[in-house]
Structure 1
Amino acid sequence: MIILGAILLIVGMLAGISLLSTVGGILLVIGAILWVLGATGRAVGGRKHFF
């Protein structure tokens, strides 16, 4: 999710499409939060790991 968010953010900035930049930024933040929670061993949504 982090990689997809980064790709959408970059493409949105290069193409000048603000919707892609917004969605990419949101995916990047959500992916980072899930990664941190998974790294601490906390189960999120019933799952221990998000890949």
Structure 2
Amino acid sequence: MNKFRDYAVNQDKTLTQLIEDYIDSLPSTKIAHSDAGVPATAPLSSTNIPD
């Protein structure tokens, strides 16, 4: 833990900022939740609405 504190002081950041920066640098993994049962990767389609 002291290494993290020392690094934070050296970078002029708080430990929270270091952790947030690290989390932000991680690759994004998207988990889709669909109530309609349509996969999130399905193409969107438009529906014609009568006038």
TM-score surpassing 0.5? no
Q: TM-score, normalised by structure 2?
A: 0.32
Which is greater in Rg?
2
Give the structure, 1 or 2, with the largest relative contact order (CA under 8 Å, sep 6 or more): 1
